[in-house]
Amino acid sequence: MLYVILVTSILTSLYEFKKFKERQYVREIAFSSVLLIIGVILIILRIADVKLPTPLTGIQFLFQPASRLLTEMLS
């Protein structure tokens, strides 16, 4: 399964980057590469059964101090 994902992502990136290179879209190549690498890493971690945090955990981490502050101010 891992090899299928890696081969598919490599073939897709080669196909897309060929078009970008013809039009000389350097920023698009860099941005697409970063997103592709992040996606492949997340898929590999998911296959390896690594417990990944949910986006809700990050939202709670960001807004919990503000919530406490508002609760103290209003009580």
Per residue of the chain (75 residues), what is the pLDDT tens digit? 888 888 888 898 888 888 888 898 889 889 989 998 999 899 889 989 999 889 899 899 999 999 999 999 998
Quote helix, strand, coil % in the chain, to nearest 5: 85, 0, 15
**Sign of torsion over alpha carbons 39, 44, 46, 50:** negative
- Distance, CA of 40 to CA of 75 (rounded, Å): 47
- Distance, CA of 11 to CA of 33 (rounded, Å): 13
How much is the pLDDT for 51? 92
Placement of tokens 């390896």 in the chain: 48
- What is the reported pTM? 0.67
